[in-house]
Structure 1
Amino acid sequence: MLTSQQKALVKATIPTLKASGQSLTDYFYQRMLNHVPQLKETFNMGHQRDGRQAKALANAVLAYAEHIDDPRPLLPVIELICHKHVSLNIQAPDYAIVGEHLLHSMSEVLGISMEDELISAWGSAYQDLAEIFIATERKIYEKHKQTLGSWLGWRQFTLDRKVIETPEVTSFYLTPTDHLPLPHYLPGQFITLRTEIATLGYKQPRQYSLSTAPNGQFFRISVKEATGGVGEREAGYVSTTLHHQLNVGDRVELSAPTGNFTIADPNKHNVLISAGIGITPMVAMLEGLLENNLQQKLPSTSPTVTFIHAARDAEHCALGEEVRALAEQHPAVQTFVTVEHARHDCPLGHAVGRLILRELPPSLLPIDADFYICGPVPFVEVINNNLQELGIPVDQIHYEVFSTGGTAS
């Protein structure tokens, strides 16, 4: 338990964390991975390469220091991270490894002794936080144990089918190599895929949303290739491997579906808003909501689902035809698709240009609906703010950001 003096010491480091927190966390990752190289198969080395992992950790450490008196506001973020950790098979002893290298990094970067009271304070703070994570993850692991067809750790899957959706996105249909049952998962959840990366010489994990509702036969992920190029970040280790080297019949390792970006109440109006590859969990959610309507024998027009998507153009609207087909089959579905660029003969899209919520018909955005947003950080931030400006209560807005800790290359 942290003392008041220790809390004061932790808070006193906030200016330093704001000024040079990323330098500290970058040093930490280098130190830990040099001492424990096997962890390279756990961490996203693409995010190590471009610095995003260090930045994310620096922000997390800063947020914890700022909320050291009462970390409860951080609990929703902690729960999300815990699902990510479970998908990577992080166990309680791993926290001791991270803690050791984090404290040594603070000592070495700040130029203070490991016996300094500041290091002791951060050691107690880290231990308190680790216990919250471990307890939360224990509950998630226990739920997997109790779920029929689920598993802990890694399970081998075989690529059964590979479908090119757009010039950038390919769908991968994966079946369990052991032919044992698959678990029922909640639409919106994700799996972690781990495969050998030839250029690195070791395996790499990446988290991908499941892009279809549970069917008991296969998992589907729809992956955007990070190609890199002039002026862009480097090509993705895993996405390029999947697109160009993984063939039908090849095997990969998967963790069981997990995640908390799921429909809170399927029996009310739900609005799904996405951009780009953020459409992937939304298609699964749409299918799941329509299946719920059938199971509940609800009228075909109630509850309504609004599906809103922003795409670069028709050619790059992955899974768009699936959404169109579902909307045509189910009167309960309302769709609105914007494309930034369109030819005169573009068959897809209700509007050309950026998505502007205030210009949409009010019937698409009912005040009592639940709203789900998925896409890049700037998109999610803008849509979240716009919904609040339209009077949507914060507790009716849920979102998933595709960035560090989310789906990745």
Structure 2
Amino acid sequence: MLSDNSVQIIKSTVPVLEVHGVTITKRFYELMFTAHPELLHIFNHANQKQGRQQTALANVVYAAALHIDNLAAILPAVKQIAHKHRSLGVKPEHYPIVGKHLLMAIKDVLGDAATDEILGAWEEAYGIIADAFIGVEAEMYNQAEHQPGGWEDFRAFRVDRKVQESAVISSFYLVPEDGGAIADFLPGQYVSVKVEVPGDKYTHIRQYSLSDASGKPYYRISVKREDGFPDRPEGRVSNYLHGQISEGDTLYLSAPAGDFILDQNDARPVVLISGGVGLTPMISMLNTLAERHSDRKVTFIHAARNGHVHAMKQHVDELAQKHSNLSAYYCYQAPTEQDREQKAYHKEGFIDLPWLKSVIEDPNASYYFCGPVPFMQHINQSLKEWGIPEKDLHFEFFGPAASLAPAASAR
């Protein structure tokens, strides 16, 4: 238990963290990677360069300070991060390293304002929070390894098939090289893929949603090739997978992880809403519903720029034709002439609330959505405007967690 004095000290730092949190976490990563460059084998370099990891950590530290007298309030966030840590291979011995450099960063950024009393309180608090993570992750490591078909850390998989799904998305069908069984997973979960790109000093690890139902003799991931833009570098791993990984090659996978999962015990209608490559966990959920829950009403809504980049459309259309309980709708931002001729979509432009109301028959449903952050912000705001309860809204970020608050009011 954290002492009452330490609780009050931590709470007094909340306003400071709100202002200086990202500066502190940026300095933290600089210090830690300088002292422990081996940790660059674990962390996503792209998220570091774009500042997404620093912002996500700052939000976690802020939330921990805000709820330091009731850490149960941040337990969902702890479990979400713990899933990611387990899939990356974060171990108990990493936590003292993180704690040491976080305190150093607080001292560096705040200077004399970071008194010995404040640093002592944060050291005490960090120890309690770290123990919570270590305990949760120990259970996850044990479950991942000892479940039927499970394994520890990373396991070699062979690319059995590689299928181009659209101009920018390819699917990889992966089977274990050892010929053994593979663990089941829950629809919506992901695996970490570890690759060594020729010429790069450090290993890269990325999370990719499993894009099929469980129970198959393979895992399938569907990867978007992230092309470079002036404000964003190209995806190092996605381009490597698209350009250099072929059928017969080897990839190293973690056991499935993640807490963005379809509630299969909820008998109410379900609405799946995706944008771009955010459709990958939705396809896993859709396939699961089609195979095992044929009486549950399903509305599948996908937004894409146009048919050129719309993956798995034929598959979804075939499911909708086969299952009367399943309906599919597509929104194209900039349809091609061919899209128009073929009437390949249901709405032009962007998804909006009036259109959602026109295609969702029963709003008393469970909603799952995934896609680019601005897309999810818009969907989240639209559904809340409709009066959908918070408990029925489920979403996942690809990468570090961000805010779904409208940009103008986001902290």
Q: Cα gap change, 1:115/1:16 in structure 2, threshold over 3 Å: closer, same or farther?
A: closer
Q: Cα gap change, 1:259/1:365 in structure 2, threshold over 3 Å: closer, same or farther?
A: farther
User: How many residue pairs get matched?
Assistant: 398
Matched, 1:239 2:244: no
Cα distance, 1:386 vs structure 2 = 1.7
The residue matched to 1:235 in structure 2 has which SS? coil
Residue 133 of structure 2 aligns with which residue? 133
- Out of 354, 374, 378, which is 1:378 matched to? 374
The residue matched to 1:354 in structure 2 has which SS? coil
Whole-Å separation in 2 of the counterparts to 1:376 and 1:115: 41
The residue matched to 1:151 in structure 2 has which SS? coil
1:104-161, Cα deviation, whole Å (9 max, x unpaired) = 2222332359981111110111111112212222222232234200112010111222
The residue matched to 1:249 in structure 2 has which SS? coil
Whole-Å separation in 1 of the counterparts to 2:131 and 2:103: 17
- Are the aligned partners of 1:145 and 1:152 in contact in 2 as well (CA < 8 Å)? yes
- Are the aligned partners of 2:158 and 2:250 in contact in 1 as well (CA < 8 Å)? yes
Cα distance, 1:52 vs structure 2 = 1.5
Matched, 1:350 2:346: yes
Matched, 1:317 2:313: no
In structure 2, runs of 5+ residues without a counterpart are 403-411
- Are the aligned partners of 2:189 and 2:260 in contact in 1 as well (CA < 8 Å)? yes
Match runs of 1:2-401 below 5 Å: 2-112=2-112, 116-230=116-230, 232-266=231-265, 267-293=267-293, 302-342=295-335, 343=337, 344-361=340-357, 364-401=360-397
Q: Which moved more, 1:343-352 or 1:52-61?
A: 343-352
Whole-Å separation in 2 of the counterparts to 1:101 and 1:115: 16
**What TM-score results when the alignment is normalised by the length of structure 1?**
0.92
Letter in 2 for 1:263: L
Letter in 1 for 2:222: S
Q: Cα gap change, 1:365/1:153 in structure 2, threshold over 3 Å: closer, same or farther?
A: farther
Cα distance, 1:54 vs structure 2 = 1.1
The residue matched to 2:274 in structure 1 has which SS? strand
Cα distance, 1:287 vs structure 2 = 0.5
- Are the aligned partners of 2:275 and 2:370 in contact in 1 as well (CA < 8 Å)? yes
Whole-Å separation in 2 of the counterparts to 1:360 and 1:404: 28
The residue matched to 2:93 in structure 1 has which SS? helix
1:71-129, Cα deviation, whole Å (9 max, x unpaired) = 23222121111111111122222211211111122223323599811111101111111
Letter in 2 for 1:120: G
The residue matched to 2:341 in structure 1 has which SS? coil
* Aligned residues with identical type, % of pairs: 39
- Are the aligned partners of 2:47 and 2:399 in contact in 1 as well (CA < 8 Å)? no
Whole-Å separation in 2 of the counterparts to 1:2 and 1:263: 36
Cα distance, 1:263 vs structure 2 = 1.3
Q: Which moved more, 1:95-104 or 1:14-23?
A: 14-23
The residue matched to 2:203 in structure 1 has which SS? strand
The residue matched to 1:345 in structure 2 has which SS? helix
Whole-Å separation in 1 of the counterparts to 2:400 and 2:165: 24
Whole-Å separation in 1 of the counterparts to 2:250 and 2:330: 36
Cα distance, 1:29 vs structure 2 = 0.8
Residue 296 of structure 1 aligns with which residue? none
Give the alignment's Cα RMSD to 1 decimal: 1.9
Cα distance, 1:20 vs structure 2 = 2.3
Whole-Å separation in 1 of the counterparts to 2:349 and 2:107: 51
**What TM-score results when the alignment is normalised by the length of structure 2?**
0.92
Q: Cα gap change, 1:120/1:350 in structure 2, threshold over 3 Å: closer, same or farther?
A: same
